[in-house]
Amino acid sequence: MSFSRYRYPVAEPEFGEEELRNVIEAVRSGWISGRGRFVEEFEEAFARYIGVKYGIATSSGTTALHLALVALGVGPGDEVIVPDLTFVATINAVIYTGAKPVIVDIHPDYWCIDPDKLEKAITPRTKAIIPVHLYGHPCDMDPIMEIASKYNLYVIEDAAEAHGAEYKGRKVGSFGHASCFSFYGNKIITTGEGGMVLTNDGELAERIRILRDHGMHPERKYWHEVIGFSYHMSSLQAAVGLAQLGKIERFIEKKRRIARIYAEELSSINGITLHPEMPWGKCIYWLYSILIDSEKTRISRDELAEKLEERGIETRRFFYPLHEMPVYQKYAIDTYPVSSRISKKGLNLPSGVKLSDDDVKLIVKEIKEIIR
């Protein structure tokens, strides 16, 4: 049963008996908060899936970013480079620490942070870079890591939208000093709310765990040597996440199948740019995304979205560029022609794993009829 008012929502989770069994077991065990077997099992299983040593489950993707930054010592006086086109959680987490975010434009071909713009943004105060794997497409990680190494900077991957995406055959989230994922209800796999920090650094993982638990000493209960946070994931959430993780490859293949159908059916429409996939990347198409050139389609992105909504088809406009929002304008250091152009043209189409092939073809049929 769907609670959406749309026939075709942009994203919708899929649950089955596996999730229900795990939740029932968690409830019957009495361990429904941040302890119990499901939290540890989910942390270990997800870290293993991505290919890193340690996972620390959190209450959200945003708190995962905040914990990673604080644990790496980012704070007042530091600068952290972020892309202009991203959800605001990326920049907000930097601001929470007292550090200054520095906004950089995106690459025109694949919409993630442009490595060629990074060095210009680096100053003696720069401490970290947060590349965001936007809409399921990986960033170009090799030059990012090379620049970070050259200037002795931390890299924190924001992989909130890219569970299972790959860069040169290796899963995103395994490149940076830390990586952060979200398990919000519309993500590839979900725990309802929730997130996770991954790292190969054992000492960093321990600091993150301590900070997540109010800063409590790991061996001396209720003794606090640092100021921490309450950023736990509950056992109920982890129980759902563990079941979801068992289905992730099927979900990704379904997302990629939906993307193939959209690409085949929309490729003939003049004025529509398809969701990219670079030769060095495997995109998991969290949301299948297109660009609308209104001069060629003779209909604007917003008009198309409104007419699709009238027909029960939910869409989402791209994120606003950070530099355009008054609260973040002071962090702009340049002009941002690429993100400004792409944001105004971008539209996310229904991409949920419950969509059938015929559903996707019907959505495309509606798009074609509206444009005609």
Q: How far is CA 104 from the centre of its chain?
A: 18
Q: Who contacts 209 (Cβ-Cβ below 8 Å, separation ≥6)?
A: 56, 218
Q: HEC profile for 225-249?
A: CCCCCECCCCHHHHHHHHHHHCCHH
Give the separation between CA 17 and CA 145, rounded to whole angstroms.
Answer: 42
Check if 296 is active-site: no
Q: Count of alpha carbons within 13 Å of 327, Cβ hemisphere only?
A: 5
- Return the ∠ at Cα 164 (arms to 205 and 232), rounded to 5°: 35
Catalytic residue among 100, 127, 171, 187: 187
Radius of gyration from C-alpha coordinates of the chain: 21
Count of all residues that appear for the chain in the document: 372
Helix (H) or strand (E) holding 63: helix 61-71
d(CA 187, CA 160): 8
Rounded to an integer, what distance in angstroms lies between the CA atom of residue 350 and that of residue 130? 27
Task: Give the catalytic positions in this structure.
Answer: 187
